[in-house]
């Protein structure tokens, strides 16, 4: 009987080791055996599309700026008024959010005597992802007497002419308000900039 009991105990012990052993013979705990493998997080599915350098972005401001109300580094936000298409496919739909900051402010009576506000957009949110953005600076100046050109952008002459054509066809054009020779752009004002470097975004697969 004693011999039989010893054999039973030895068999039980061997069985517990076998059930918790790795292939290399080392033991693992019961808790390790019951642990499930972690589930991999879902990976965004989409196609990467390159928006080329020089692409125009027609924007509507969603925050006001002004030579007497803004300071350098103030946040500026806007949204696309017109969608951006590549090969007939909408890559950035109208309403896409962009953000940036004020880059320069000159109040009335300083230096040239004509108030100026400058800003640049540096980030865009598309398809639930945030992308860095490189764009041309935008500058707004109180027009000189008899000069109707209120909006300027740091790009070449041909593109500037195209922008002028775009703005002239929009009711109200660039909404520019002045008070005491200060320059202000209210929320809803239209401005135009262009990409100074290509932008790659992920677009959902149809």
What is the mean pLDDT of the segment spanning 19-26? Answer: 50
**Confidence band for 120, pLDDT divided at 50, 70 and 90:** very high
Q: Greater confidence, 35 or 59?
A: 59
pLDDT for 106 equals: 87
Q: Greater confidence, 46 or 14?
A: 46
Token pair for residue 190? 């239209």
Q: Contact 49/86 with Cβ under 8 angstroms?
A: yes
pLDDT for 145 equals: 57
Report pTM: 0.65
pLDDT for 206 equals: 66
pLDDT for 23 equals: 52
pLDDT for 115 equals: 87
Cα–Cα distance, 185 to 191 (Å, whole number): 9
| pLDDT tens for each residue of 38-71 | 544 554 567 899 999 999 999 999 999 999 899 9
Matching residue, tokens 């109200």: 172
b/e code 54-90 from CB counts within 10 Å (16+ = b): ebbbbbbbeebbbbbebeeebebbbebbbebeeeeee
pLDDT for 35 equals: 47
Residue 190 reports pLDDT greater than 90: yes
What percentage of the chain carries pLDDT values higher than 70? 57
pLDDT for 110 equals: 53
| pLDDT tens for each residue of 146-171 | 454 444 454 444 444 444 434 433 44
């Amino acid at each position: 009987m004693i011999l039989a009991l010893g054999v039973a105990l030895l068999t039980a012990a061997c069985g517990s080791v076998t059930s918790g052993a790795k292939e290399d013979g080392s033991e693992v705990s019961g808790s390790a055996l019951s642990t499930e493998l972690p589930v991999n997080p879902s990976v965004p599915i989409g196609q990467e599309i390159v928006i080329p350098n020089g692409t125009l972005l027609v924007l509507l401001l969603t925050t006001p700026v002004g030579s007497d109300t803004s300071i350098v580094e103030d946040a500026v936000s806007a949204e696309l008024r017109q969608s951006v298409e590549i090969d007939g496919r909408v890559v950035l739909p109208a309403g896409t959010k962009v953000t940036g900051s004020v880059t320069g402010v000159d109040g009335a009576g300083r230096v040239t005597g004509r108030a100026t506000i400058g800003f640049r957009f540096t980030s865009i949110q598309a398809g639930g992802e945030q992308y860095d953005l490189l764009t041309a600076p935008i500058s707004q100046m109180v027009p000189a007497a008899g000069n109707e050109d209120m909006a300027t952008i740091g790009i070449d002459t041909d593109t500037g002419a195209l922008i002028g054509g775009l703005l002239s066809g929009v009711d109200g054009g660039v909404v520019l308000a002045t008070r005491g020779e200060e320059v202000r752009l209210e929320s809803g004002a239209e401005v135009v900039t262009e990409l100074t470097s290509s932008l790659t975004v992920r677009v959902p697969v149809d």
